[in-house]
């Protein structure tokens, strides 16, 4: 009698739970991720959590102090808020420049730019269109790839079909850090809060720990994974190149605090001096000495597929960005790209 009661109660709970859930699980064997591997590598060479992305016409970015969306016009070197309504106060979701403060990032996907927060919006000049079902959480560690979104929920990563809202995979026990997460060849790559670098195979649902400790930043460039690893015994923070196919690791540079890669050139800063260098990516540092561009500058560096040059910003200056000419490796200080502060709130 007690068993019958138990089963009846269990059945009711199951019905209620299923009824409450609007998300179904898709059959993974029916999903093809193959097409995603044809994405140009440079398009996914982003450092995270990203605030900048270009759609080929404009560079969109989230302004740090206000959290609003601006766009850069590189020809006029002007930053314009992405809203052309002269009476808009830019403080509600209906504004095309409004982004959920603290939780939004910008992503490029198939020549379109998306604003990722708890919802997903496709953005273009003075336009913003919501796509997907929403409720992707407040973490900055979201990955968008080929119509899917991966987002953290409690201590797991959920992979969801953006259009249908169906969950296609769930990885338990992964709490991501925000400085290196990307999609690469059928897998999600995350730095966890324990500073491991993990690879989550979407189809197989398997988690593999690529590096066990001390990873602070990661990205993909061409067919290699790059990451910074801190060795606490020696105090080194090395930039490592990882070949997934060969499962081999190479030290690219010994002291790298922050980096970006453009046109086979590595741009990086050091710790604790915060000097800024560049050097050829594929030649060993012994043969090709790194060139110091600046001393004692915290530079943030962004690259875009359509532009040969880099966009840089000094970390203590919120409002001014500069073009770094990658041919001459000089910064055009005379023509800064300024975000007009009166536009910000």
Report the distance separating Cα 131 and Cα 148, nearest Å: 12
Among 233, 245, 289, 334, binds other proteins (CB under 8 A): 233
Cα separation, 77 vs 337, whole angstroms: 5
Residue 268 DSSP SS3: strand
Question: From residue 8 to residue 47, what is the string marking binding to other proteins with x (rule CB under 8 A)?
Answer: ---------------------------------------x
Cα 96 versus chain centre, distance: 21
Please state the closest distance from residue 240 (CB atom) to other proteins, in A: 15
Q: Rounded distance, CA 181 to CA 217, Å? A: 9
341 makes contact with other proteins (CB under 8 A): no
65 near other proteins (CB under 8 A): yes
Which 95-124 residues touch other proteins, going by CB under 8 A? 101-102
Distance CA 312, CA 177 (A): 23
Q: 227, 258, 268, 322: which one contacts other proteins (CB under 8 A)?
A: 258
3-state secondary structure of 100: coil
Least distance (Å) between residue 148 CB and other proteins: 24
CB of 52 to other proteins, least distance (A): 10
**267: burial class by Cβ within 10 Å (0-12, 13-18, 19+)?**
buried
| CA 266/CA 240 separation, integer angstroms | 12
Instruction: Pick the binder of other proteins from 56, 134, 235, 263 (CB under 8 A).
Output: 235
Q: Which residues bind other proteins (CB under 8 A)?
A: 47-51, 64-65, 67, 101-102, 138-140, 177-179, 193-195, 213-214, 216, 230, 232-233, 235, 237, 258, 271-274, 298, 300, 313-316, 318
């Amino acid at each position: 009698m007690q068993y019958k009661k138990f089963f009846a109660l269990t059945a009711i709970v199951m019905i209620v739970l299923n009824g409450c859930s609007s998300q179904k699980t898709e059959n993974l064997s029916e999903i093809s991720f193959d097409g995603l591997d044809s994405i140009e590598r440079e398009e996914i060479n982003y450092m995270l959590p990203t605030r900048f992305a270009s759609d080929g016409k404009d560079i969109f970015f989230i302004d740090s102090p206000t959290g609003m969306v601006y766009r850069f016009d590189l020809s006029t070197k002007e930053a314009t808020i992405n809203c052309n309504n002269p009476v808009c106060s830019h403080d509600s979701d209906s504004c095309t420049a409004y982004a959920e403060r603290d939780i939004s990032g910008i992503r490029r996907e198939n020549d379109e730019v998306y604003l990722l927060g708890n919802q997903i919006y496709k953005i273009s000049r003075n336009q913003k269109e919501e796509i997907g079902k929403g409720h992707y959480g407040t973490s900055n560690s979201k990955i968008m790839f080929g119509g899917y979104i991966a987002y953290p929920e409690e201590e797991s990563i959920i992979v969801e079909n953006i259009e249908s809202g169906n969950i296609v995979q769930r990885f338990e026990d992964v709490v991501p850090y925000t400085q290196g997460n990307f999609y690469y060849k059928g897998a999600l790559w995350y730095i966890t809060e324990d500073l491991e670098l993990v690879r989550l195979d979407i189809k197989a649902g398997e988690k593999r720990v690529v590096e066990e400790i001390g990873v602070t930043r990661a990205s993909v460039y061409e067919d290699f994974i790059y990451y910074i690893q801190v060795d606490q015994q020696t105090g080194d923070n090395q930039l490592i190149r990882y070949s997934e196919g060969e499962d081999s690791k190479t030290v690219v540079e010994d002291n790298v605090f922050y980096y970006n890669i453009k046109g086979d050139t590595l741009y990086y800063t050091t710790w604790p001096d915060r000097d800024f260098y560049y050097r050829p990516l594929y030649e060993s540092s012994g043969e090709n000495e790194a060139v110091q561009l600046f001393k004692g500058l915290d530079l943030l560096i962004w690259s875009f597929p359509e532009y040969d040059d880099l966009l840089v910003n000094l970390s203590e200056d919120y409002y001014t960005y500069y073009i770094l000419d990658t041919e001459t490796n000089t910064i055009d200080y005379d023509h800064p790209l300024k975000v007009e502060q009166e536009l910000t709130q």
